[in-house]
Amino acid sequence: MPETAAPRLHALAGDLDHVAARRAGAVPGDSLGVAGAGSERRAGAVPEDSRRGRAAAVPEDSLEVVAAGPERARGARVWAALWPKLAAVGLALALWELVVLSGWRPDYVLPGPAAVLGRLFADTMSGEVLVAAAITMKRALLGYAIALVVGVAIGLLMARVRVLRTAAGSLLTGLQTMPSVAWFPLAILLFQLSEAAILAVVVLGAAPSIANGLLHSFDQVPPLLVRAGRVLGARGLGLYRHIILPAALPGFLTGLKQGWAFAWRSLMAGELLVIIGHAPSIGVRLQFSRELSDAEGLLAWMIVVMILGVLVDGLVFGALERAVHRRRGLTGVHA
Amino acid sequence: MSIALAHAPVLAPPPALPPVALRLEGVSRRHGVGADAVVALDTLSLSVRAGEFVCVVGASGCGKSTMLNLVAGLDTPTAGQVHVAGGRPALMFQESALFPWLTVEENVAFPLEMQGVARGERRRRVAELLAMVHLESFARRRPHELSGGMKQRVALARALAQRANLLLMDEPFAALDAMMRDHLHCELESLWQQTGLTVVFVTHNVREAVRLGDRVLLLSSRPGRLVAEYAIDIPRPRRIESPEVARSAREITDRLHEAVRDA
């Protein structure tokens, strides 16, 4: 290529990329163009189009403008994400109140939301909720941490050793589908009514999901990326560290999340079955409420269980998943 | 792996000719065993000189990709020998195969990191490579934010980062539209002229092969055999729509159709 032609080609490159990026972002817009220019704005294809267009065309200069935008929009975004949730909670409380008002059960058996929320508030202020939540969450975290180590070790081992996978693959799936409550009689026989019995079942509940999640996420790594990694010089353990593990991360996160759900359920079952008197965990409080026919307290503690579950799922796993998906452009699910 | 590095130059060619960058001697590759075995490549022999741009064309199933895998060291031949001079070759695929968890600059830096190049040097070379493919301002972007053509240019920069003497390309522009492909032909041609790389470019597009190659090798299908070889002496820079390119392409396409009929 003669040197004089180079700048012109360079400019052409920018134009082409611009065109390509716009086209990539505006597929719906293109098809709407046939229907008529007037429909384009309504379809909502325009913001997407202009965002990609701007990103591709003037990357450096527009960065500050782009950075200022989300700052202002954050409040609106949070509200947009929040109000449907608040509305759902409101609706659930309203239905609950309606059932109570219908007189289906006397209110010492099924109290209304006002009484229960009042009780929840009182128990929170007195510190009882915090003490119980601390005991329960400590068990959950410890059990989950052990399950994570065990699950990852088993998953890695089975991924590396084919015979092991053939031998134990269905066993692992069997363990995963087995309701972990079924382990408690054996765990109580082995460990008596102790922390160890609860922890053992939490680990048994969560580890198979984590191991299986890791194994399946390895299966779904695109072979092309592994080939590319090998060509570019990643070998042996480096191939795992630099290519397979990061490529498997989204699938592995799903396994981690499922593992947490199993751990949390096993823990609740465990705390109801294995009562350790000197440790007033959430399960113990639930059980005592039932024994004392304290319906208000029982429902208040159930709400605590639910809130903790939602918080961990949303704040820990949800945030992790969103971060990974956003970085890789897999935003379809969480958009 | 039967890749041997270049021998000591006992039988070196006369100094006027550049040395051989790649030589295949009677290379065969069978997939499977017994009656179900498929011969992907049959006693293929060829050699590519350093700095040469060689295009390989053939109908689907002619073992083009098998050949590249053998040369790249991702596969081993069932018979014959593959000689690659000057270390492991770089390979570019039809899909960009960029790592979605890394930014553009991290992708380009990946082979340097694998080679243990220090951070400062890495940064300098990545900037240089991104400038070569005109993507400096996209260094911090992630692959999913780029168009198909831009992704292939990042993949090209990443392949060049290996500093291999030999660049293998497996239909790298097949998934792009004609305009983008035409543009990337110009960019690749100019990069090749600047760097003195040896390129083996596999494609099923005969015009593309004539547009780019010093030489075009024609492979037959099942089993893949070398059936013809064309030296393209159309002066550069070439244009894909020029009559000379069209004429050569027609000649090769006719021969290709014959080869497909015979198979």
**Residue B196 within any structural domain of the chain:** no
In a domain, A113, yes or no: yes
On chain A, the residues whose CB falls within 8 A of the CB of B237 are 1-2, 5
Residues A147 and A252 in one domain: yes
Please provide the DSSP assignment of B200-218 as one string. Answer: EEEES-HHHHHHH-SEEEE
Judgement on whether residues A41 and A120 belong to the same structural domain of the protein: no
pLDDT reading at B140 higher than 90: yes
Average pLDDT over residues B78-86: 89
- Flag if B99 and A247 touch (Cβ within 8 Å): yes
Domain total in chain B: 1
Q: Are residues A122 and A26 in the same domain?
A: no
Q: Are residues A276 and A129 in the same domain?
A: yes
Q: Looking at beta carbons, which residues of chain A come within 8 Å of B137?
A: 59-60
| Closest residue on chain A to B95 (Cα) | A224
Say if A74 falls within a structural domain: no
Of B142, B144, B162, nearest to A232 by CB-CB distance is B162
Q: Among B69, B93, B101, which would you mutate to test the A interface (most chain A Cβ atoms within 10 Å of its Cβ)? A: B101
Determine the pLDDT at residue B31: 83
Residues 6+ apart with CB under 8 A from A29: A40, A43, A45, A46, A49
Contact B199, B189 (CB under 8 A): no
Instruction: Confirm whether B83 is domain-assigned.
Output: no
Chain B residues in contact with chain A using a Cβ-Cβ cutoff of 8 Å: 72, 74, 88, 90-91, 93, 95, 97, 99-101, 110-111, 113-115, 134, 137-138, 141-150, 158, 162, 179-180, 183, 186-187, 189-190, 193, 236-237
Phi, psi angle pair for A323, to nearest 5°: -60, -45
pLDDT digits (tens, 9 = 90+) for A60-93: 444 444 444 555 678 888 888 889 989 999 999 9
Q: How confident is the model at residue A18 (pLDDT cuts 50, 70, 90)?
A: very low
Domain encompassing residue B145: 98-163
pLDDT in the model for residue B11: 54
- The answer on pLDDT for B263 being more than 70 is no
How far does A246 lie from chain B, in Å, by closest CA? 7
Per-residue confidence (pLDDT) for residue B127, from 0 to 100: 95
* Predicted pLDDT at A67: 45
Interface test with B, best of A232, A242, A243, A244 (most B CBs within 10 A): A232
Determine the residue of chain B that is closest to A9 in CA distance. Answer: B183
Give the residue, A326 or A33, on which the prediction is more confident: A326
Residues 179-208 of A with CB under 8 A from B: none
Task: State how many domains chain A has.
Answer: 2
What per-residue confidence (pLDDT) applies to A329? 83
* A156 and A286 co-located in one domain: yes
Is the CB of A20 less than 8 angstroms away from the CB of B110? no
Q: Do A227 and B134 touch (CB under 8 A)?
A: no
Nearest-angstrom CA–CA distance, A63 and A60: 6
Amino acid identity for residue B24 in this structure: L
From the CA of B108, how many Å to the nearest CA of chain A?
10
* Per-residue pLDDT, A70: 55
Same domain, A150 and A263: yes
Instruction: Flag whether pLDDT at B86 surpasses 70.
Output: yes
Name chain B contacts of A7, Cβ cutoff 8 Å.
Answer: none
8 A C-beta contact, residue A123 and residue A300? yes
Please give the pLDDT value at position A14: 43
- Of all residues in chain B, the one with the smallest CA distance to A62 is B137
* pLDDT, mean of residues B93-102: 93
Is the Cβ pair B186, A238 closer than 8 Å?
Answer: no
Tens-place pLDDT, residues A33-54 = 333 333 334 444 344 444 444 4
| pLDDT band, residue A243 (cuts 50/70/90) | very high
Query: Nearest CB to A55: which of B72, B97, B145?
Result: B145
Domain span at residue A39 reads: 5-57
High-pLDDT (> 90) share of chain A, % = 55
Per 3-state DSSP, chain A is made up of helix, strand and coil in percentages (nearest 5) of 85, 0, 15
Question: What is the per-residue pLDDT for A124?
Answer: 94
The whole-number pLDDT of residue B63 equals 81
Instruction: Please report the residues numbered 238 through 267 in chain A whose beta carbons come closer than 8 angstroms to any beta carbon of chain B.
Output: 238, 242-243, 246-247, 249
| pLDDT tens string B180-203 | 899 899 989 999 998 889 999 999
Task: Indicate whether A249 and A306 sit together in one domain.
Answer: yes
Q: A57, A54, A49: which is closest to A69 by C-alpha?
A: A54
Whether omega before B237 lies within 30 degrees of 0, making that bond cis, reads yes
In whole angstroms, how large is the CA radius of gyration of chain B?
Answer: 19
Whether A71 is in a domain gets the answer no
Q: Is residue B119 part of a domain?
A: yes
Residue A142's closest CA among A198, A77, A79? A198
Q: For the residues A114-124, what does the mean pLDDT come to?
A: 95
Residues A84, A89, A94, A95, Cα dihedral to 10° = 100
pLDDT value at A19 more than 60: no
Q: In this predicted model, what pLDDT tens digit does every residue of B2-60 receive, in sequence order?
A: 455 444 445 555 556 678 889 999 888 888 877 778 888 888 889 999 999 999 998 77
Q: Find the length of chain B.
A: 263
Question: Is position A94 within any domain?
Answer: no
Task: Give me the mean pLDDT over the A150-179 stretch.
Answer: 89
User: What ipTM was predicted for this assembly?
Assistant: 0.84
Residue B12 confidence (pLDDT):
53
Is B124 inside a domain boundary? yes
CB contact under 8 A, A329 and B145: yes
Q: Per residue in B106-117, pLDDT tens?
A: 999 999 999 999
Q: Which one of A21, A56, A328 has the shortest CB-CB distance to B100?
A: A328
Q: Based on the domain organization, do A302 and A165 belong to the same domain?
A: yes
Are residue A132 and residue A48 in the same domain, yes or no?
no
Tell me the CATH number at A168.
1.10.3720.10
